[in-house]
Structures are given as C-alpha cells and as structure tokens.
Amino acid sequence: MTERPLRVAVLGTADIARRRVLPALSADPDVELTAVASRSGERAREVAGPYGCAAVTSYEAVLDRPDVDAVYVPLPVSLHAEWARRALAAGKHVLAEKPLTAHAHTTAELLGLARAAGLALMENVMFVHHPQHAVVRELVAAGTIGELRAFSAVFAVPPLPAGNIRHRPELGGGALLDIGYYPVRAALHFLGSGLDVVGAALEHSAGSAVETSGAVLVRTPKGVLGQLAFGMEHAYRSAYELWGSEGRIRVESAFTPPAGHSPTVWVTDGAGSRELSLAPHDQVAATVRAFVEAARSGGVGDAAAAECLEQATLLDAVRTRAARQ
C-alpha cells in the first residue's frame, strides 16, 4: 500500500518560506501542504492562495488541526522554541528555521522532547544536503590535499533594510545566529566534533543594536585551525577552503546556491590546478526530502541530533568568548 503524504502546515510567512521552502514543500510528491498561518488574515490568504491550502490566522489553531502531521516554523529565532515545543506537545513533527533556538540548553530540551515522543525535530540547515560538500569530503578523505592543516569559511551579505528582523535583538537578530551560523556549521561539517573556540570577536556598526559582523578561530583536538568570518554589511561572499600539506580545495557559492547553479570545486594538488564541474542540485528540495524521511522514521537520528546540539553549543561558545574581549 502506498504511504500517504506527510501533511505539513507552515507557521509564518517569512521570506525564506515564501521564496524557497513553500515551493519545495508543494513540489514534493510525498508532501501535502494543508495550511499556512499568519496573524494577518490577508497575509495568510495571499501566501496560501497559490498552493490551494487553508489560510489560518492562529498558530494555535494549526496545531489543533487533525489534517496536520508536521509544521514548518520560519518565525523569528526568538519564537522558535515556543512554537517547536507546542508543536511537539501536539504530536507534530517540526522543521524549524536555523538556528533551532538561540541557546544550547533550549536546543537540548527540545531534542529530548522530540526523542521521547518519537517525533522528528529538524533544523532547516540546507547546505549540508548539497552533494558538492560530499565530493569535497571524499577528496579530503582520499588524501588529495595531504594532511588537512587549516580550514577557512566566510559568509556575508549586503546591508539589510533598517526594519529587517535581523536588526532587532528582541527577535534574536544579529549577524552571528543568522549569518555566522553558516561558517560555524561548515567548520563542524568538515572538521568534525570537539571543536574549541579559541578566539572570537563580534562587532557592532555605529548605531546598531546587534552585532553586524564577526570572526571566529576554532581548533580541532588534533590542532587543525579554522578561521571563520561573517557579516551583514558586506559585498556578498559565500565560500570555504580546505588547506592541506599538499594542496587545497576551494568552493564558492557554497551555502545558498540556487537550484539551477552548476557547482565548481577548485582543486590544487601535486598535479596542478583543476576544476571539477558538478551537476546542479536543489538543496531545498533535498532538505524537504530529508525531513519527510525523518518524520516517517520517527526522528532525525542520534547523529543528526548530536550535530544540531553541538552547533548550538559552538554558537554559545562564540558569544562567551567574544564577551571576554
């Protein structure tokens, strides 16, 4: 017998939901988009209309619906924990925008609730589902660049409008959680667990209530260093490089490539320099697919949960280290 689609509702109408995740949910054959909720009825109808699903003006009402198996939460960071907790209590699987919460202890609590209930709780970090990074890992594991010596990653975006939620501290704004998340997660992805934050700086531009840029130095237990930089008042950059004893690997358009982008991996080793051209891949669709599979299996798995918690712990450590400067 064919398994019925996962019935998903969306709590909020943020840009990331409208532009990328809603289309991916709608396009997945194993997903049925059942409702979009907004405090504004007009906004809910505007966003829900193209998908033929219900427009709801209460997040609570969505959680009470029997035709909802799972929710996607693209609300501001400060609201993630509340609505993820409520959704889990209502027996719904949860896909929440990154970061899952603003603090590691809250992330640990929610992961524990999901595990106890046999529900999927997944942080919406998309780039890890793009196969270009698996190619890079394979090259490193094969010894293409010798022994890994250093890692660097950068993610930055141009200035955002003054009213953007990323400028509002009460909503969890600031460059670290929204922009810095990417290079920190990339360090965890490529350098592995056990990272120590040995240096960090968070900078505020004039008049800003939140940090607008930052830099972090991490070290692995074996002494490999990672240099991470991020900001939201910069020329756009999204890249990382692994530097070994015998060569290096570089990836541009690393974190948020559009579905039609054909990735290139630049490799320099003893044989010279070359470009590896890869096929386009829709990392948003791949993330939705991973969520569906997690929901059907009753959870994201211990390894994914541990990585989510370690990411939250690293972000906490960056804040703590930067405060000492």
* pLDDT of 2 over the 80 cut: no
pLDDT band at residue 180 using 50, 70 and 90 as cut-offs = very high
Handedness of CA 169, 203, 194, 253 (dihedral sign): positive
* pLDDT of 299 over the 90 cut: no
Element (H, E) at 3: none
**What domains are there in the chain, each with its CATH number?**
6-126+296-301 (3.40.50.720), 131-280 (3.30.360.10)
Convert the pLDDT of each residue in 273-297 to its tens digit: 999 999 999 999 999 999 999 999 9
Report the pLDDT value the prediction gives residue 55, as an integer from 0 to 100: 97
Report the pLDDT value the prediction gives residue 254, as an integer from 0 to 100: 97
Report the pLDDT value the prediction gives residue 1, as an integer from 0 to 100: 43
Report the pLDDT value the prediction gives residue 280, as an integer from 0 to 100: 97
Give me the chain's average pLDDT, please.
Answer: 96
* pLDDT of 325 over the 80 cut: no
pLDDT, mean of residues 171-192: 96
Report the pLDDT value the prediction gives residue 101, as an integer from 0 to 100: 97
- Which DSSP letter does residue 211 get? -
Collect all residues with Cβ–Cβ distance below 8 Å to 91 and sequence separation of at least 6: 117, 119
* pLDDT of 139 over the 90 cut: yes
Catalytic status, residue 98? yes
Annotated catalytic residue, options 98, 129, 189, 319: 98
Tell me the C-alpha distance between 80 and 72, whole Å.
10
Convert the pLDDT of each residue in 245-270 to its tens digit: 999 999 999 999 999 999 999 999 98
Q: Mean pLDDT lowest for which of 106-110, 134-138, 205-209, 230-234?
A: 205-209
pLDDT, mean of residues 217-227: 98
> In 3D, which of 75, 62, 125, 136 has the Cα closest to residue 98?
125
Distance (Å) of CA 171 to CA 20, 166, 174, 209:
22, 8, 9, 12
Tabulate helix, strand, coil % of the chain (nearest 5). Answer: 40, 25, 35
pLDDT band at residue 149 using 50, 70 and 90 as cut-offs = very high
pLDDT, mean of residues 215-234: 98
Q: Mean pLDDT lowest for which of 15-19, 169-173, 225-229, 256-260?
A: 169-173
